[in-house]
Amino acid sequence: MKKLVTLFILCLLSANHMISQVSHGGKPLPLSTLNTRSGTQFKEMPPFDVAEQLRIDSLNESDLRSGFHFAYKFMTDFTPENSGNWFTGADGTRVWRLGIRSEGAYSINVLFSEYEIPEGAQLFLYNPDQTHILGAFNHLNNSELNKLPVSPVQGDELIIEYQEPANVPFHGRLKVGEVNHDYRNLRGYEPKGHSTIYHWCMKPLVCYQDTTDKYNNIGRSVVLIIINGENACSGTLINNTLNDGKPYLLTASHCLNNQFTITNPDYETIAGNIVTFFNYESPLCDPVMRGTEEMSMASTRFRATNESTDMALLELKETPPAYYQPYYAGWNAKDEGTAPYAGIHHPGGSVKRVNTTKQVESATYPGMDFIKNGHWHVKEWTSGSTAGGSSGSGLFDSNNQLIGGLSGGESSCPAPYNDFYFALSQSWEASTDADKQLKTWLDPAGTNTGRTCKGLDPYSATPCIRLSNIKESGKAEKIEATPLPSPGTGPAFGNNSLNMNEFAEAYKITGEAKVYGTYIVNPAITQDKEIDVEITVYSGSGKPETLLHTESFRPSFVTTNNKIDFIDSIKPLSRDQESFITFSEPVDVSGSFFVGYKIRTATAGTSFSAYNLPKGETSKNTTWINYQGQWTEASAHPASPMSTSLFIDPVIQYNTASTNTSIDNNNPIRIFTEAASKTVHILLPATIREARYSIISMNGTRLQNGIVHNGENTIAATGAGPGIYLVQITSNKDSFTQKILF
């Protein structure tokens, strides 16, 4: 087998992307408590030749579309017994601190090769000014492997702090076995637009959603995966024939074994050091923005891998929650698929992209020790290409069924030719061993002789829905942060010279629902460490009235453990981006409600706002401002009156499945569907002479709209693919919404 190494590309992935375990809140002790700068407390990593490492990276190119190496690894043996300093507090709490310095590092991450601590103990990692804190990690982070991988911490100095109360049942066991020096500046390259050599031809997923819903479901199945804190690949959630919602994850084996360079890889350990990111997508087609990074899950279980086909199957350790909106892709493990085909992936660790091609063929991967005819060959992409980090991503046929996963190839934007995907058909029973085949896991009953399986939406009965006034307007690509007209300063919908600091976006639903959190898309700001923003939820009739909930907005990564959300680390706001703020508890709403933000403090000259629609782009105002203690519509803004909407998109889940409640309870609206013909029947009571209808996809895209009248109305939903939709009926200022299924 030829030498396999990392493809040289610039990594898009922010250092904070690499969350490897959940953390459980809390704060470390103030730095003044201990003399942290003490020389005895710091371990200095020896210098290495960065230029030589980059030269080696450039030489070590491969046609395998794997991730890339971004850190120099030091093997260490730092324990509380041989390194750092101890301090005992007045209450008997013992505190261990260890500093690690690696000069010139953009970030430092460590692996605790031994990790077992008692209940009540806490572990933190942070930089010296405590602007970037990980933790607390506690006994819930103990695992059967007794290891703890953690995210990189910004800067070239890292402090580890372990707090152990008196009278614990046992003393914690800790060993820092690896220190990784980031020499690629992972934080510095997001977002990636269309202008770079790798990505200008690769359209983000959102680019397709205005014209088709074909990729909506399968797009939700694709995740970014980080392996060992070093490599980025792509993976796909995949269904099984029991439809039991087991979160299987398909990727490429060479992503796990460092492109076949690891002898006898410990796949169980490698699987445990994997982090998956859901919904990492640009909210706009152009410009491409940094996507949501808060929806992550820590660790997987190894299920199967076959190095002769390049297949790898993992299982997430936890079920993705409803507000992640997961989808388990269906599959086709036969020897042929149906054209055309699509690949959905995270090239270079970037936001989700889509490729299309008209034809694939069975082929043997050239120059590799894979089995004969074990791959699907994409001779030419009609649109798009692949890049490092695309490895493991799925190839879907025209029925949206998964037929393969990316091993590698030669394609690029200038030359979109010759990519190879391992075929599910050839990995189905590639071995009699369960851990080297797919059949055991994807068809556990062994009854699916057709070797196909439909996809699964595990929350289809009561799905989570992303509401969006911006996307509903159809003008999302025109968003701006409107400034106050001169002589005013600051954004019209942010902290400004008029001393405005609170804004809200209005929504109206039929029935009762829970709000799990909200997306917010904001322009870049400076000095974001000094800004204090709250996300707010109000109820009210016509305007915000009763405050239901507040949530601090320091953009953070959030993982889920035992249905509880924990903050892992903070990301910067120095770029245009989308963030998701998870509420500590779901918020109950009904009818009209408002989601907004309140800027509590901000450094002089620093402004925060959500993006908004420009003046003249919508006649429907949904934005409210709190001016001089009074809520008023943006159309009555004292300095910049306009009808607009803010890019604040709450994620809701109706408390019950769809019912025929209506605007007029005595004469309800009735909606029926014929799934086969994609026909919608809307029956309006005599009390409603005329109304407007809209058919909306679950991502907020308005597929079609028009006018309906009292009596029966038959509507052909020609543009709707399989999936869940909303039918919205609006009469005067009232509206009625019902979910339908095709």
Residue 433 has pLDDT above 70, yes or no: yes
- The mean pLDDT of 665-686, rounded to a whole number, is 70
List helix spans (H) across 374-454: 424-427, 439-442
Predicted confidence (pLDDT) per residue in 434-451, tens digit: 999 999 999 999 988 899
Return the closest-CA partner of residue 300 out of 326, 273, 324, 280.
273
**Which stretches does DSSP call E strand in 494-563?**
502-522, 532-539, 546-552, 556-561
- The mean pLDDT of 621-647, rounded to a whole number, is 97
Query: Which residues are CB-contacts of 287 (< 8 A; sequence separation ≥ 6)?
Result: 191, 193, 576
User: Tell me, what DSSP letter sits at residue 483?
Assistant: B
Tell me which of 413 and 172 has the higher pLDDT. Answer: 172
Predicted confidence (pLDDT) per residue in 465-476, tens digit: 899 999 888 899
- H or E element: which one contains 54? helix 50-59
Predicted confidence (pLDDT) per residue in 524-583, tens digit: 887 766 788 999 999 999 999 999 999 988 766 654 433 333 344 556 677 788 999 989
The predicted pLDDT at position 524 comes to 87
- What's the alpha-carbon Rg for the chain, to the nearest Å? 26
- H or E element: which one contains 252? strand 248-252
The predicted pLDDT at position 61 comes to 54
- pLDDT-derived band at 662 (thresholds 50, 70, 90) equals very low
Amino acid letter, residue 642: M
Residue 355 has pLDDT above 50, yes or no: yes
The predicted pLDDT at position 31 comes to 67
Residue 98 has pLDDT above 60, yes or no: yes
- The mean pLDDT of 164-192, rounded to a whole number, is 81
Range among 8-22, 24-38, 329-343 with highest mean pLDDT value:
329-343
The predicted pLDDT at position 566 comes to 37
Q: Which of 53-62, 91-100, 233-242, 301-310 has the lowest mean pLDDT?
A: 53-62
| Burial 137-170, CB ≥16 within 10 A → b, else e | bbebbbeeeebbbbbbbbbbbbbbbbbbeeebee
Structure tokens at 63: 């046609």
| HEC sequence for 199-230 | CCCCEEHHHHCCCCCCCHHHHHHEEEEEECCC
Tell me which of 331 and 740 has the higher pLDDT. Answer: 331
Residue 164 has pLDDT above 90, yes or no: yes
The predicted pLDDT at position 293 comes to 81
The predicted pLDDT at position 196 comes to 53
Structure tokens at 127: 């930089």
Cβ-based neighbour number of residue 369 at 10 Å: 10
CA distance 407 to 423: 10
The predicted pLDDT at position 709 comes to 84
- The mean pLDDT of 332-349, rounded to a whole number, is 92
- The mean pLDDT of 358-363, rounded to a whole number, is 96
- pLDDT-derived band at 195 (thresholds 50, 70, 90) equals very low
Residue 382 has pLDDT above 70, yes or no: yes
CA distance 414 to 197: 8
Residue 269 has pLDDT above 80, yes or no: yes
Residue 350 has pLDDT above 80, yes or no: yes
To the nearest whole number, what is the mean pLDDT of the chain?
84
- pLDDT-derived band at 660 (thresholds 50, 70, 90) equals very low
- pLDDT-derived band at 6 (thresholds 50, 70, 90) equals very low
Residue 193 has pLDDT above 50, yes or no: no
In the chain, % helix, strand, coil (3-state, to 5) comes to 10, 40, 50
- pLDDT-derived band at 397 (thresholds 50, 70, 90) equals very high
> In terms of C-beta density within 10 A (0-12 exposed, 13-18 middle, 19 or more buried), how is residue 539 classed?
middle
Sheet holding 295-298, edge to edge: 300-306, 311-316, 248-252, 231-238, 222-227, 274-277, 295-298, 556-561, 564-570
Structure tokens at 25: 């809140």
CA distance 12 to 232: 10
Q: Which of 101-110, 206-215, 237-246, 498-507 has the lowest mean pLDDT?
A: 206-215
Return the closest-CA partner of residue 180 out of 118, 235, 226, 122.
226
